[in-house]
Structure 1
């Protein structure tokens, strides 16, 4: 049976480049898990968007040509594999829960777009951290398992660049890791790349100018309290990690996206600030404050 959501997804042209508008969607976060707002990077104005259908802590999200897929997360001790979508092309958008569920329940995982598919990797379920990965084909409305990562990773980052997926950092064996690996969909294999200079979990990452930026977030063991403002980037040509100037604020659980050639970072424990990095000046600058502290929000250019 063909649904309204099915028809929309089949007609979509999937866009994997950073947003070209001036707006960023900020979804959820601690103390406001169903709350969604839109931020204009030029005017610095915030506007309210429809709340999500269910309370999701630590989900992940991607943007399919202005159609937002919000996946997984948890509430209390209940982990989700469900998915809901907000179609920003509609005049009066609302979250629609009529989408296929992921194969695995996940929270504190990461997702990315690659070659017209949604990929989800790692995270936690109600028993353990995960190495498992899966992809979603919107044409077939079907989730499929792909090969596991080499390590179980919770609170990792996942980005796509040059036809590959890159999984960075995360929590491994009760401590943060600096290891990173990439997935080639042509041969279905995960292979290690040079490790980051710093161990990071709860990090966020973006791709800008053919470089991968690993931003924040926490170093040391799970019982540690060392939040990070440090940033490093991976050059895809030289395959080396290079230090980048640190953010203005320490952040654990912040999220980032790219708009108009700038990296924008939102929230994290103890940080209501929004700041951006300009590669032309090689500097971070505080832009404004959020209305509330948001830890592990989903942040998407739209």
Structure 2
């Protein structure tokens, strides 16, 4: 009763009272008392706050109570920073102080640094130093910043352990080997035994067998760890309940982003590490989206297009080395369910849906930071998939059983032998020099394509 303002979080609209918002939140008080554009408006659109987080925030502003979990803590921190809610920020910090463990302490260190949570940063660093042996065995090792690793090396007395820590840190992400010489300045090799060097030089990690993971739009997922005796095991349910999410392979596992929960687009991102079975919380996307596309390349997660009440053409990239999101130039047109591929470090966006299925192809020049249009696909491919192989892009599957190859060098397409099944919404990947297409809607078949013989 007597509501006089509506807060808009994505598709969620919540009727509120200005006097309560202004009394509980400096951000709104300044908005309503100054000449900000929203002062005379009947609604305030908060683009950077998801619907689920917005509902929690309004409840907090009215009641002072809020349910903080490991899944929403990061979103609440971002919102409290934006809305100048110092008390809420402290509540989230206190929650994270009591929920730090070996699986998440590196993420918490990065989070504390991002939001200037000094007490949490000190506590998480102490936890890292005290439990470093367990932490380095987790998926989060690739998120550890070099400065934090150096602190560990300087605090730890065992030089043999420090040598192994450096090895694990370098191996966790490609491109770190050039840091070896500088990092070894923090290790005293003279304190390492001869037996240690014999063991280190004579032992190598066993070759890792490729694992396959598949999932459906309901959020159910399965993992196959032995391709010689293929058996699919259910993956522990992700820490979310969403549909229409996007997933892509990443080193050691895969990343899930966005989607819809109760028909509300989400910003959350999680990574799964197959070896340990752990889910890890990543920074949420700047833009809530569903029906978008994603791909991992060169330490970056790219998310493209999608839908959030309106079609999107925005492109965002998460740098996995510092966990910072960046905005790339938007696509020339809005699109959902597009196919992504990387060739020569350039991102290709192919096809997709925008009111109707399209055959457009756009390439993002990573050097010039610009988009350019390429030759369209020779036929529409509805609900197919794309992979890159030998500097070409292959578009396969879909309702019309497509199989076509794009050569970026001469901007030409070649139509190829079609698969036996349509693999409607079925994913695809490159495995052992062939292209494999999986399942699809009401279909569990798996087909393998040989680019050498143009045969399935």
- TM-score tier by shorter-chain length is 0.7 to 0.9
Structure-1 separation of matches of 2:232 and 2:318: 32
CA drift at 1:276: 1.2
- Greater Rg over alpha carbons, structure: 2
Q: Provide the alpha-carbon RMSD of the alignment.
A: 2.2
1:256 aligns with 2:443: no
Q: Which has the higher strand share?
A: 1
User: Runs of 5+ in structure 1 lacking a partner?
Assistant: 218-226, 285-302
Match of residue 182 from structure 1: 363
Q: TM-score, normalised by structure 1?
A: 0.80
State how far apart, in whole Å, the 2-side matches of 1:46 and 1:64 are: 20
Distance apart, 1:72 and its partner CA: 1.0
Task: Give, in whole Å, the separation in 1 of the partners of 2:294 and 2:429.
Answer: 13
Deviations 1:198-249 (A, max 9, x none): 12342210011221001132xxxxxxxxx21121110133321001111111
Which 4+ runs in 1 deviate beyond 4 A? 3-7
* Alignment partner, residue 235 of structure 1: 407
1:12-39 deviation digits (Å, cap 9, x = unpaired): 3149xxxx8443111x214x52333226
Alignment partner for residue 164 of structure 1, among 332, 337, 346?
346
Q: Give the superposition deviation at 1:44.
A: 2.8
Residues 54 and 14 (structure 1), Cα distance of their counterparts in 2 relative to 1, 3 Å cut: farther
- C-alpha deviation, 1:267, in angstroms: 2.0
Structure 1 residue 191 corresponds to structure 2 residue 375? no
* CA distance in 2 between partners of 1:141 and 1:188 (Å): 21
2:114 is aligned to: none
Q: Which residue of 1 aligns with 2:243?
A: 57
Distance 1:35 1:113 in 2: 19
Distance in 2 between residues matched to 1:157 and 1:196, nearest whole Å: 12
Alpha-carbon distance, 1:6 to partner: 5.7
Question: Does residue 204 of structure 2 align to residue 23 of structure 1?
Answer: no
CA-CA distance at 1:54 after TM superposition = 1.4
Residue 298 of structure 1 corresponds to none
Alignment of 1:29-108 (within 5 A): 29-30=216-217, 32-38=218-224, 40-90=226-276, 93-97=277-281, 99-108=282-291
Deviation digits for residues 70-112 of structure 1, max 9, x if unmatched? Answer: 111113312111011222343xx22223x21011112221112
CA distance in 2, matches of 1:14, 1:72: 26
- TM-score with structure 2 length normalisation? 0.54
Mapping for residues 223-302 of structure 1, pairs under 5 Å? 227-284=399-456
- 1:2 and 2:183 correspond: no
Gaps of at least 5 residues in structure 2 are: 1-107, 111-134, 145-168, 176-207
